[in-house]
């Protein structure tokens, strides 16, 4: 799709301006007063704060202990502080934040490596090196983000920086040339794509930011053309791993780093080569990718989650709205406008990408309030990942098929997620704070990754296995006015040791009434079904009451047991209360029925 455009590019590839320059006082003065005050307050707080010190020992901690959060807090705090200072200068325009901005630029320019310790390797699954080698830069997600940040600052503040010293802009250009452009054009990184290699969010995310850095700076035409040709090949490599339905197998959290970064990349390309990429926006696959986030929404900040995604996601920003407009999707534009309106802090103070924050300040307040109305959500099936979603006025139901070899996989084939009146009833726990173990061969030792902690059966302790060969078969879905139903065979998600010949799960939404789950199995080991919830359960004979939300009538189970799970991890606590509960329902025979009211 993208590489075909390469031969039709114009002779001159233009500049990209990621917002409005500091001297454009009309546009920056249009930022609403309340938002302007919040931005300036954040900038003043950054001035009063000491820049984080980052030592070699901080960098080495990841390979020494597996902890990545402590270094990343230092690293991202620097970038957020610099963001805050730049935005304060843009909205105020008086120059008082410029000296601190230069301090931040030079601190980041003098870092030995822009890549995170967790990504400090030269092969996709290679050993992580304890310290960065500044003679051989690694382009990871955040090296590219850093380049985009500095290039955006130069583009928007360039003349003001030059008045302090031309060396500021010159230093940024040298660092981006040596750390990003030269290695980008001179070597192959796995995320660039090669043959049938599977890509993920890295491809679109990094490509967007390399394009942003390249075209926001005053680079030469030979460099620009070489970058574009390589970027187009990467975007094709990224798209090949999406089905036509546009579903993101990495989960809704990664939509913003995948499909939404594809939108960012095409926005830049469309600007520097006017007209050449217009046809991309009309492709049904691109529109499907755009609308995915709206279809995954349940209520408020809650989304259907699987893989390494939280059930609670930050509100949309202007980016989702602009994507909806670009692909001609009123549904997405309306959804994004509504969701964004619920944001407490629309200037995105926790965001580290400066371009996104600039877009929010310049575009967000111009989103018409008449567009902020609830999107009409309904049933949908994503065959590419085997995801079934059905809704009525009371229930929102999802059933995950697919396989256990997908990106950011959890062993969850056949798991059910259910909301009632917008509140979580049967949950997907999500993922804890990332550590070295999260992306290691020991990944499935982590409890949140295991099928026993999803709404799935276990056979005398035998759980689902990881890998593309472990998946659902014979998937059937039906949508009708009175009901919606998904039926799938999930025995193939379990290893031979489960001694399982068949496990057929049928999940039905009987609209306006209740949800039914019917599990029938044939195997040599006894089966125990896990049900995960964040509500304190009360169990009586063949009935489970879940606080004030609902009840589950059980037919075909033995004595039900309850496990309490303390939630101490910060990432999980952002979505869940301090305790979760696992109900364990042993099969009394070969058939287990649940009716959820």
Residue 377: pLDDT band by 50, 70, 90 thresholds? confident
First to last CA, the chain: 47
Tens of pLDDT, residues 291-336: 999 999 999 999 999 999 999 999 999 999 999 999 999 999 999 9
Whether 17 and 41 map to the same domain: the answer is yes
Query: In this model, does residue 369 exceed pLDDT 80?
Result: no
Give 538's strand partners: 545
Same structural domain, 312 and 419: no
pLDDT at 527 over 90: yes
pLDDT in the model for residue 345: 74
From 344-353, 456-465, 527-536, 565-574, the region with the lowest mean pLDDT: 344-353
- 476 & 349 share domain: no
Q: Are 434 and 458 in contact (CB under 8 A)?
A: no
332 and 422 in a common domain: no
Kindly tell me if the per-residue pLDDT of 458 is higher than 90.
yes
Predicted confidence band at 286 (pLDDT cuts at 50, 70, 90)? very high
Are residue 355 and residue 458 in the same domain, yes or no? no
On whether both 35 and 133 belong to a single domain, the answer is: yes
**Cα–Cα distance between 167 and 148 in angstroms, integer?**
19
pLDDT, average across residues 232-261 = 97
pLDDT in tens, 499-509: 999 999 999 99
Burial class (CB in 10 A: 0-12, 13-18, 19+), 445: exposed
Domain identity same for 333 and 431: no
Mean pLDDT of 42-48: 98
pLDDT tens readout for residues 539-563? 998 999 999 999 999 999 999 999 9
Residue 372 lies in a domain: no
In a 3-state reduction of DSSP, which class is residue 18? Answer: coil
80 assigned to some structural domain: yes
Q: The whole model's pTM is what? A: 0.95
372: pLDDT strictly greater than 90 = no
Phi, psi of 574 (to 5 degrees): -70, -15
Q: What's residue 371's pLDDT?
A: 59
pLDDT, residue 376, reads 55
- Please tell me the distance from the alpha carbon of residue 79 to that of residue 94, in angstroms, as a whole number: 22
> Is pLDDT of 368 > 90?
no
The last residue of one of the domains, among 308, 335, 365, is 365
Per-residue confidence band for 374, with pLDDT thresholds at 50, 70 and 90: low
pLDDT above 80 (res 373): no
Domain stop point among 314, 338, 365: 365
Band (370; pLDDT cuts 50, 70, 90): low
Confidence of residue 10 (pLDDT cuts 50, 70, 90): very high
CA 484 to chain centre: 28
Using DSSP bridges, classify how beta strands 561-566 and 550-555 pair: parallel, antiparallel or unpaired. Answer: unpaired
Proportion of the chain above pLDDT 70, given as a percent: 99
Write the DSSP string, 68-118.
-HHHHHHHHHHHHHHHHHHHHHHHH-SSTTHHHHHHHHHHHHT-S-SS-GG
Tokens of 261: 């970064």
DSSP SS3 for 177: helix
Q: What's the CA angle centered on 565, arms 562 and 567, to 5 degrees?
A: 155
Same domain, 353 and 425: no
Tell me which of 317, 335, 365 is where a domain ends: 365
Mean pLDDT of 509-532: 98
Which structural domain range is residue 459 located in? Answer: 380-596
Q: What is the CATH number of the domain that holds 445?
A: 2.70.98.70
User: Between the CA of residue 80 and those of 166, 389, 552, what are the distances in Å?
Assistant: 24, 37, 46
Tell me, what DSSP letter sits at residue 396? E
Domains contained in the chain, number: 2
Residues 491 and 555 in one domain: yes
Q: Is 374 a domain residue?
A: no
Does residue 353 sit in the same domain as residue 491?
A: no
pLDDT, the chain, mean: 96
Give tens-digit pLDDT for 214-229. Answer: 999 999 999 999 999 9
> Residue 230: inside a domain, yes or no?
yes
The answer to the question of residue 370 being in a domain is: no
Q: Residue 392 in contact with residue 502, Cβ under 8 Å? A: no
Q: State the pLDDT at residue 541.
A: 85
179 DSSP 8-state letter: I
Residues 511 and 389 in one domain: yes
Read off the CATH number of the domain in which 11 is found: 1.50.10.100
Q: Answer whether residue 439 shows pLDDT above 90.
A: yes
Considering the domain boundaries, does residue 419 fall inside one?
yes
pLDDT confidence band for 359 (50 / 70 / 90): very high
For residue 134, pLDDT over 80 is answered with yes
Assigned domain for 375 exists? no
Give the tokens for residue 590: 């070969």
E-strand ranges in 511-590 read: 514-523, 527-533, 537-540, 543-546, 550-555, 561-566, 579-586
pLDDT, mean of residues 57-73 = 97
Mean pLDDT, rounded, for 488-499: 98
Does the structure show a pLDDT above 90 at 342?
no
Helix, strand or coil, per DSSP, at residue 437: helix
pLDDT at 341: 87
For tokens 């455009």, name the residue: 5
> Dihedral, CA atoms, 491, 494, 496, 501, nearest 10 degrees?
-10
Adjacency order of strands within the sheet including 500-510: 473-479, 483-489, 500-510, 514-523, 591-596, 550-555, 543-546, 537-540
Q: In the structure encoding, which two tokens stand for residue 376, read together?
A: 């009409």
């Amino acid at each position: 799709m993208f590489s075909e455009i390469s031969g039709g590019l114009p002779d001159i590839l233009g500049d990209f301006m990621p917002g409005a320059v500091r001297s454009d006082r009309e546009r920056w003065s249009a930022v609403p007063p309340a938002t302007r005050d919040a931005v300036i307050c954040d900038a003043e707080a950054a001035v009063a704060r000491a820049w984080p010190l980052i030592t070699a020992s901080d960098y080495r901690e990841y390979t020494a202990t597996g902890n990545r959060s402590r270094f990343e807090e230092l690293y991202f705090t620097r970038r957020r502080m610099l963001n805050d200072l730049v935005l304060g200068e843009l909205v105020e325009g008086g120059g008082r934040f410029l000296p601190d901005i230069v301090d931040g630029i030079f601190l980041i320019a003098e870092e030995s490596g822009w890549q995170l310790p967790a990504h400090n390797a030269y092969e996709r699954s290679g050993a992580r090196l304890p310290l960065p080698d500044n003679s051989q830069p690694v382009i990871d997600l955040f090296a590219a983000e850093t380049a985009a940040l500095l290039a955006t600052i130069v583009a928007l503040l360039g003349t003001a920086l030059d008045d302090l010293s031309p060396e500021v802009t010159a230093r940024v250009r040298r660092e981006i040339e040596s750390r990003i452009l030269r290695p980008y054009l001179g070597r192959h990184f796995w995320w660039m794509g090669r043959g049938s290699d599977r890509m993920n969010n890295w491809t679109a995310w990094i490509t967007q930011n390399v394009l942003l850095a390249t075209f926001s700076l005053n680079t030469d035409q030979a460099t620009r053309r070489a970058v574009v040709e390589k970027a187009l090949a990467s975007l094709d490599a990224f798209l090949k791993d999406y089905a036509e339905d546009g579903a993101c197998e990495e989960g809704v959290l990664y939509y913003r780093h995948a499909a939404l970064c594809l939108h960012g990349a095409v926005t830049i390309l469309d600007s520097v080569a006017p007209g050449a990429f217009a046809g991309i926006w009309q492709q049904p696959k691109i529109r499907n990718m755009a609308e995915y986030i709206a279809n995954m929404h349940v209520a408020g900040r809650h989304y259907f989650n699987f893989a390494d995604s939280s059930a609670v996601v930050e509100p949309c920003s202007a980016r989702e709205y602009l994507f909806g407009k670009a692909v001609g999707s009123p549904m997405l534009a309306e959804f994004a406008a509504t969701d964004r309106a619920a944001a407490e802090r629309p200037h995105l103070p926790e965001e580290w990408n400066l371009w996104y924050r600039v877009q929010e300040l310049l575009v967000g307040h111009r989103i018409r309030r008449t567009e902020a109305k609830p999107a009409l959500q309904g049933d949908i099936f994503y065959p590419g990942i085997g995801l079934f979603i059905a809704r009525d006025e009371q229930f929102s139901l999802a059933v995950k098929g697919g396989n256990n070899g997908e990106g950011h996989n959890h062993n969850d084939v056949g798991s059910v997620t259910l909301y009632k009146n917008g509140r979580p009833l049967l949950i997907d726990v999500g993922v804890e704070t990332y550590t070295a173990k999260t992306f290691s061969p020991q990944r499935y030792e982590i409890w949140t990754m295991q099928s026993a902690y999803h709404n799935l059966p276990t056979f005398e302790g035998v759980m689902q296995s990881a890998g593309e060969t472990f998946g659902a078969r014979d998937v059937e879905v039906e949508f009708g006015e009175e009901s919606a139903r998904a039926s799938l065979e999930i025995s193939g998600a379990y290893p031979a040791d489960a001694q399982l010949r068949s496990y057929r799960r049928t999940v039905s939404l009987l609209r306006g009434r209740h949800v039914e789950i019917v599990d029938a199995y044939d195997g040599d080991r006894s089966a125990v079904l896990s049900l995960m919830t964040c509500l304190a359960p009360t169990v009586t004979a063949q009935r489970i009451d879940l606080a004030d939300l609902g009840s589950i009538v059980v037919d075909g189970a033995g004595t039900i047991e309850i496990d309490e799970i303390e939630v101490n991890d910060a990432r999980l606590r952002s979505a869940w209360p301090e305790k979760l509960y696992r109900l364990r329902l042993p099969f009394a025979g070969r058939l287990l029925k649940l009716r959820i009211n």
